[in-house]
Amino acid sequence: MATFNNCRLACLLLPLLLLLLLLLLVGQSWGRATAHCDLSEAVDAMDVSKPPCENFHEHACGNWHAPYGQRSLGAHDTRSKLRAMNKQLLLRHFELNGEQDASTDQLASFYGSCMNGRQSVHVYMDAVQQLLPDWPLLNNASRFDWPRGNAAVRRFGAQGLWRLSVQPNWQAAEQRVFYLLPPSFDLLGTSEQSEFFYQRYLKYLLLELGLRVRRAASLAEQLVGFERQLRALLPPSAETLVLHAPQTLQELAAQLPQLQLLDYFQMLLGEHYTTQLLLVADSSYLQRLQRLLQRADPWILSSWLLLQLPAHFELHLHEDASLAAQRDHCLQQLNQLMPQQLSQLQLRLLHGSDAAAAAFLDRTQLQLQQLFDTLKAQFERLLNATTIFEQDAVTQSLALQKLRAMRLLLSPPLSLPQQLGEAPQRVLQSRSYDSNLLHLSRAQAEAEFQLGLQCLQLPCESAIAWTGHSVGPLDVNVYYRLKLNAIELPLGLLRPPLLPHCAAAGREQAAAQLMGGLGYMIGHELIHGFDYDGINYDAAGRVAGGQWPPRAIIRFGLRAGCYLGARYSNATLTINENIADSEGLRLAYEAYRMQQPANATMRPFFVAFAQNWCGQAVAPSSGVLQHASHKERVNNVLGNFPEFAETFDCKAGSPMHPPEKCRIW
């Protein structure tokens, strides 16, 4: 009887449990869709007490703020808030699941080893000795082969005596060539304080290698002195770097025999070595370097090169950091070294599964391509109508060819559903953070070198859609790549609120959000192909100075001169960005207007644009500002739109309705 009653109870409870589970799953799905459709943040950010015609930035963003948890992850404005949201998602995964997943999840394993913070300089020394055994500082070697030592540290990504990178050939963008440029001297810096801290850092590395205190201090001082000499080889900051046409390795080595470039590249490339490599070099720096190396102390040179490896990875520099800073550092390392795998994880966490993420990418790629094509079609109409090309059909045709050839690239390239589960996997071979760091960096360097070997002679069979750097989910800036004639859109941006997915009731607001957000961003970068820099490059990304005749350039300049007016602070440095802001928003506005009914209000579009720049900008580490302040970017741009003044009933002469309105196209 008891068994029968238990069965009846189970039979009654089972449907209830199934129903509860179904409601939970639906609730999760509904919650995810609601999050995608929730536009309340846009309304909450506004301060409607501020008159829109006086200061629209305050009107649209006056109540904007980032929650504390996001501020602690670097959120200070709209764009950095998106980055912080991606960080939160990833950190939550690693902190909650890291230990149990570490045995199978490469990302979690790397993150966990990074957070443990147990590092040793000896791991780096062992790694470099496997490539080149004899280093005077390590085994009292009587001779040192510095060209091979310089190549050994570069195989792990460190700079050495010059900065070697693989970038598009400035004369033929479909081809990748090696660039030999001066090092950056980031740790040495330019102040007495930075030099002091750098010298102390080198001293601590030498102490860990077993040197006595006095000897370590003396050698660290000599190493800093040597690096100062290297830095002194740089031309004055005002002097323009002149890049010459690519040369073969054999040709450059003959011009700079003291640098022993043949030995360097033989060590660097191994079995792939060829003297027909193409290089673009800063010849002035390299010639001065030749003379310096003739009188350099071999002991100092070898020790400096050796310590460039741990210094490149900032060994021990983050050990005393706060927990939040340590987490951020470890995420940044993953973003740089495993961008595709990290992007795949971020998409999976955001959408619930690989299948859902693949479906999202498939749908979104189509949506973005349609958006891009719409903006290009709008710009084509403007290029056909402009008087800049009046009686100049040839230049107009070249501009149209460039516009039609321009591409939109999602980065990293996980854009097709079948690729989502097939991203290149860099397999970790150790639980040691140092070993993993070296392994991943070496794999990244080898992949970079291969790009420089794929096309040694023009024409190349196919252009390589590679932008020259890694892009992961923590990258949230869109770029126009001059030498590719392509716009690079990072996957880290493809999330709400920039990509809202709303039901029919919210579709109008979502359209404004999309066009005023991503539409404006893509339009901004599209215009960079036709600003003061862009007009010097052709449809294939090749330098093509002179293809615009003086008449067209003068007409362009007369219109662009408005962007140097009194409304624009620091205008000579920010003019290209100011042009791209206003002219790019014009493309997005016209495209949006054409999609709306004749009586539709444009208010949601203008608010969506302004809220791209809520918060405060942070000055870059270089100190050089290439953009106006967020307030200026909003108010000056909208001040160029008569349509804005009409929409918000702004009186002529009010701050948001100035008499002079800038427009080129």
Domain at 188, CATH number: 1.10.1380.10
Higher-pLDDT residue of 28, 58: 58
Look at residue 358 and tell me if it is in a domain.
yes
248 lies in some domain: yes
Question: What's the CA angle centered on 490, arms 489 and 494, to 5 degrees?
Answer: 95
Domain with residue 615: its CATH number is 3.40.390.10
Tell me the average pLDDT of the chain: 86
Res 376 pLDDT > 50: yes
Same-domain pairing of 191 and 133 = yes
Query: 154: exposed, middle or buried (C-beta count within 10 Å: 0-12, 13-18, 19+)?
Result: buried
| 30 or 459: which leads in pLDDT | 459
- Residue 239 — very low, low, confident or very high, per pLDDT cuts 50/70/90? low
Single-letter amino acid, residue 16: L
Helix, strand, coil tally for the chain in percent (to 5): 60, 5, 35
Does residue 286 share a domain with residue 212?
yes
Among 313, 331, 366, identify where a domain stops: 313
State the average pLDDT over residues 4-28: 42
Interval 241-262 mean pLDDT: 89
Q: In terms of DSSP H, where are the helices of 406-519?
A: 417-420, 433-453, 507-514
Picking from 257, 290, 313, the residue at the C-terminal end of a domain is 313
Question: Residues 274, 374: one domain?
Answer: no
Indicate whether 370 belongs to any domain.
yes
Q: Say if 499 falls within a structural domain.
A: no
Does 169 lie in the same domain as 45? no
Measured CA to CA in angstroms, residue 264 lies from 124, 132, 226, 432 at distances of: 20, 12, 21, 29
* Predicted pLDDT of residue 576: 92
Q: Tell me the residue range of the domain where 63 lies.
A: 41-68+354-407+507-664
Structural domain total, the chain: 2
List alpha helices for 529-629, DSSP H.
Answer: 550-560, 571-595, 603-610
CB 661 within 8 A of CB 644: no
Percent of the chain with pLDDT over 70: 85
202 and 139 fall within a common domain: yes
- What mean pLDDT is predicted for residues 123-133? 96
- 251 with 367, same domain: the answer is no
The lowest-confidence range among 2-16, 74-88, 494-508, 511-525 is 2-16
Residue 326 has pLDDT above 80, yes or no: yes
Q: Is 318 within the bounds of a domain?
A: no
Question: Using one digit for the tens of pLDDT, what is the confidence trace for 143-183?
Answer: 999 999 999 999 999 999 999 999 888 777 678 889 999 99
Question: What is the total residue count of the chain?
Answer: 665
What pTM was estimated for this model as a whole? 0.84
Q: Higher-confidence residue: 308 or 457? A: 308
Q: Residue range 263-268: average pLDDT?
A: 95
- Asked whether residue 59 falls in the same domain as residue 184, the answer is no
Q: Do 300 and 403 reside in the same domain of the chain? A: no
Q: Are residues 514 and 593 in the same domain?
A: yes
Question: Looking at the structure, do residues 134 and 208 belong to the same domain, yes or no?
Answer: yes
Listed residues 257, 280, 313: the one ending a domain: 313
More confident residue, 262 or 235: 262
Does residue 437 fall inside a structural domain? no
Lowest mean pLDDT among 46-60, 467-481, 544-558: 467-481
* 513 and 581 inside one domain: yes
Buried b (16+ CB within 10 A) or exposed e, 542-574: bbbeebbeeebbebbeebbebbeeebbeebeeb
How far apart (Å, rounded) are the C-alpha atoms in residues 467 and 300?
37
Q: Find the helix or strand (DSSP H, E) in which 221 lies.
A: helix 213-231
Pair 578, 563: CB distance under 8 Å: yes
Whether residue 147 is contained in a domain is answered as yes
566 within domain boundaries: yes
pLDDT band at 323 (very low <50, low <70, confident <90, very high): confident
Same domain, 197 and 246: yes
